[in-house]
A and B are shown apart, each in its own frame.
Chain A
């Protein structure tokens, strides 16, 4: 069960857009539209931001969007705000034998 690959860090200025990638394989991200994204502030529990690749839960800002191409899923945050500074994790279904796998996480810094 190898973790999905995310960049360790990304940064952007307020108002800008950033994209965080999540690269898996044809056994997980590439085969299923079951990728979710989580935001985690220090000392807090994760919060669901995107599910099923591109769906937003009720209450999540439309500045957050998700997509997928091949074995790579992406989270885009537009109009960056200071409160977006957090760690972000992707998660994917990986088949009935492995079931779930997370990415290593990406630290977003708002400059």
Chain B
């Protein structure tokens, strides 16, 4: 059974940093691209970042480019999102999701999400 479990969310002050983690199990992690998608309270889904299976290709939404860094450790079956210079508008539930095909931002399995709140 595919499982994705996010962790690392919490309350952080504007300008602060946070590192999200996603532990994957139930599939060959190193064979799949991975995505981060967020959802602000009461709002819609927003694609944040994607990373290919070997980390060769990385993409970011304009809203986070230069502040967020996606990475993965295939030996540890883990995905990460380093978030710096956080703003109030980054407040959201962050979902880790498995990409079903290289070059497609779509996701076939999703974690339950971790809440990031940016507030003073």
A residues lining the B interface (CB < 8 Å)? 1, 3, 34, 36, 38, 40, 45-48, 51-52, 57, 87, 89, 91-94, 96, 98-105
Tell me which residues across on chain B come within 8 A of A45, comparing CB atoms: 95, 110-113
The answer to whether the Cβ of B50 comes within 8 Å of any Cβ in the partner chain is yes
Choose among B50, B101, B113 the residue that contacts A100 (Cβ–Cβ < 8 A): B50
Contact with A along B80-113 (1 / 0, CB 8 A): 0000000000000001010011011111111111
Q: B interface, how many residues as a size bin?
A: 20 to 34
B26 at the interface (CB under 8 A from A): no
Q: How far is the CA of A101 from the CA of B45 in the complex (A)?
A: 9
List residues of B whose CB falls within 8 A of some A CB: 35, 37, 44-47, 50, 59, 61-63, 95, 97, 100-101, 103-113
CB distance from A107 to the nearest CB of B (A): 10
Least CB distance from A88 to B in Å reads 10
Residue of A nearest to B112 (CB): A45
Chain B residues, CB < 8 A from A91: 45, 47, 105-106
> Nearest CB to that of B105 among chain A residues?
A100
> Ordered nearest first, which 10 A-B pairs have the shortest CB separation?
A100-B105, A100-B47, A36-B106, A99-B59, A105-B44, A45-B110, A102-B45, A34-B104, A48-B108, A104-B44
Q: Is the CB of A102 within 8 A of B44?
A: yes
Given known contacts A1-B61, A89-B45, is B105 in contact with A99 (CB within 8 Å)? yes
